[in-house]
């Protein structure tokens, strides 16, 4: 029998990974038009994720910096 006790945590991890991958793609292509030609990838990221691409990138960089500082202190 399968264990579904941590499905919510796994789902949230998967969603964050999906968002990160989408953000990376959008960042590289941020000034290019989407296939529909209605918006840029930067605009599409904000439409789909509810946060601007630059704000998301800034939050991720701050989080990464904070983790690196914590890791260097624990050594």
**Tens of pLDDT along 18-53?**
999 999 999 999 999 999 999 999 999 999 999 999
- The pLDDT, as a whole number, for residue 1 is 66
* Residue 3 located in a structural domain: no
Residue 39 in any domain: the answer is yes
Name the more confident of 1 and 20: 20
Burial (CB count <10 Å: 0-12, 13-18, 19+), residue 45: buried
3-state secondary structure of 54: helix
- Tell me which residue of 17, 23, 75, 13 sits closest to 50, measured CA to CA: 23
Is residue 57 within 8 Å of residue 23, measured between CB atoms?
yes
**Count of domains for the chain:** 1
* Residue 60, in any domain of the structure: yes
Instruction: Say how far apart CA 22 and CA 18 lie, in whole Å.
Output: 6
Does residue 44 belong to any structural domain of this protein? yes
User: 29 lies in which domain range?
Assistant: 8-74
Domain assignment of residue 18, yes or no: yes
Calculate the average pLDDT of the chain.
92
Give, in degrees to the nearest 5, the angle at Cα 18 between 17 and 24: 90
């Amino acid at each position: 029998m399968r264990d579904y006790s941590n499905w919510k945590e796994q789902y949230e991890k998967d969603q964050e990974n999906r968002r990160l991958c989408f953000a990376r793609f959008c960042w590289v292509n941020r000034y290019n038009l989407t296939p529909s030609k209605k918006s840029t990838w930067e605009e599409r990221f904000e439409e789909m994720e509810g946060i601007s691409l630059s704000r998301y990138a800034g939050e991720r960089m701050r989080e990464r910096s904070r983790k690196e500082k914590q890791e260097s202190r624990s050594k």
